[in-house]
Amino acid sequence: MTAPLSHLRVLDLSRVLAGPWSTQALADMGADVIKIERPGSGDDTRGWGPPFVADGPAAGESAYFMAANRGKKSVAVDIASDEGRALIIELAKKSDILVENYKVGGLKKYGLDYESLSEINPGLIYCSITGFGQTGPYAQRAGYDFMIQGMGGLMSVTGERDALPGGGPQKAGVALADILTGLNATIAILGALAHRERTGEGQHLDIALFDVQVASLANQALSYLVSGTSPVRMGNAHTAIVPYEVFASSDGHLILAVGNDGQFVRFCEVAGRPELAADPRFAVNRDRVAHREILAPMVAEIIKTRTTREWIADLEAAAVPCGPINTIAEVFEEPQAKARGLMNPALPHGSGGTVPGVASPLRFSRTPVNDKVAPPMLGEHTREVLARVLGLDEAELDALEAGGTVQSRKD
């Protein structure tokens, strides 16, 4: 079966995480993604480690790079050379989508800005991903996930509760600002494709990490706008739902996520404390929130009486949402993870070996994704792409490589 975007070509001038995360999703959906990399070093994340693949033909590949670049074709071109620029312009002519994350105005000197390329390819969808967007007083600032999580408010509501000694703001354990920006870039690209289908027009998409982080504050942002008071750090507790946090069991920890009054009644029954559900201080969520400091310690004492797995078995039988706090290793051992095939254990790699990967979460009933193609080696597809897309012959490719304009792998 044909993947949903198999008719499209993407020119990927992005590196690190936000842009590559977007283009990886497009590759999963079948797009022909051509990743332009610097000869010699390639994407910055190729050197971000450890860990690196330790053994076999793929040894030396970084886990970070592999996390965001499956399914792409690597073309190593020197963008600073006249010949390299010309090659990329020719590829842009023949592409549907271009994704870049250079600083604002950084590609103009190469003739690779939206205004220049839209003149030769009016249908081009050109997606710029930056820290702060194309406009505003911060437009020229570099934007990295960590600082964006702080500036964008996420860290102010993440970490130990303000009232606890030693508590402080924390970043998320994964680069959420980058990941969410990549996802929003993909959404914008798909919207622009729908517009182009009706009109034939391409357009410039201006996607900023800061904008995405602020928009992704969701209920926390609206809580401030409605109340005029900034939300504070709650640790693992919820600002508006109780009990909805982590509690220590007899052998570990349990996430208890009671989302409504009926679930609280059932929790109390399983806990052997039905009188708590009848207590007017706790009968409805609004009152449970008001009496959080009384109820939460009571629930904590109850949870200590059983193991995590015992609680999960008992509560799941009563349809009360709960779960463990898994290590990453434990995640992939979950029966649900195995049933859904969330790990791709051995993707064929261009080196001749295999590398592991994580499956795409996208599931289509008629046009399944292709997430079984390993990330490319640097320059692995240079000759193939330039021959297939631009029609260059072997002599022309040899000359470009001899002059240092491109780098390829002939093995």
* CATH code, domain with 309: 3.30.1540.10
Cβ contact 75:387 at 8 Å: no
- pLDDT score, position 132: 97
Cβ contact 62:49 at 8 Å: yes
- Of the pLDDT bands very low, low, confident and very high (cuts 50, 70, 90), residue 165 is low
Q: Give yes or no for residue 397 having a pLDDT over 70.
A: yes
Quick one: 42 and 139 in the same domain? yes
Quick one: 274 and 388 in the same domain? no
**Number of neighbouring beta carbons within 10 Å of residue 50:** 8
Instruction: Tell me the average pLDDT across 68-94.
Output: 97
167 against 355, higher pLDDT: 355
pLDDT tens for 295-307 read 999 999 999 999 9
Q: Residue 232: inside a domain, yes or no?
A: no
pLDDT tens for 351-381 read 888 899 999 999 999 999 999 999 999 999 9
Instruction: Tell me the average pLDDT across 37-42.
Output: 94
- pLDDT score, position 353: 87
Quick one: 131 and 73 in the same domain? yes
Quick one: 155 and 37 in the same domain? yes
* Residue 358 in tokens: 């994580």
- pLDDT score, position 164: 60
- Of the pLDDT bands very low, low, confident and very high (cuts 50, 70, 90), residue 313 is very high
Structural domain total, the chain: 2
Contacts of residue 77, defined as CB under 8 A and 6 or more positions apart, other chains included, come to 36, 37, 39, 84, 87, 88, 382, 405, 406
- Of the pLDDT bands very low, low, confident and very high (cuts 50, 70, 90), residue 27 is very high
Catalytic residues: 178
- pLDDT score, position 163: 59
Q: Residue 228: inside a domain, yes or no?
A: no
Quick one: 298 and 184 in the same domain? no
Q: Residue 243: inside a domain, yes or no?
A: no
Quick one: 211 and 354 in the same domain? yes
Instruction: Tell me the average pLDDT across 188-201.
Output: 98
54 against 233, higher pLDDT: 233
Q: Residue 272: inside a domain, yes or no?
A: yes
Q: Which domain holds residue 264?
A: 253-324
- pLDDT score, position 103: 94
Quick one: 385 and 283 in the same domain? no
Quick one: 349 and 305 in the same domain? no
Distance CA 303, CA 287 (A): 21
pLDDT tens for 95-135 read 999 999 999 999 999 999 999 999 999 999 999 999 999 99
Q: Give yes or no for residue 411 having a pLDDT over 60.
A: no
Q: Residue 1: inside a domain, yes or no?
A: no
Which spans in 200-291 are helix H?
209-215, 219-227, 261-270, 274-278, 285-290
Picking from 324, 349, 375, the residue at the C-terminal end of a domain is: 324
Quick one: 67 and 152 in the same domain? yes
Q: Residue 246: inside a domain, yes or no?
A: no
Instruction: Tell me the average pLDDT across 246-253.
Output: 96
Task: Report helix, strand or coil for 72.
Answer: coil
Quick one: 319 and 351 in the same domain? no
Q: Residue 236: inside a domain, yes or no?
A: no
- pLDDT score, position 2: 87
Picking from 289, 324, 359, the residue at the C-terminal end of a domain is: 324
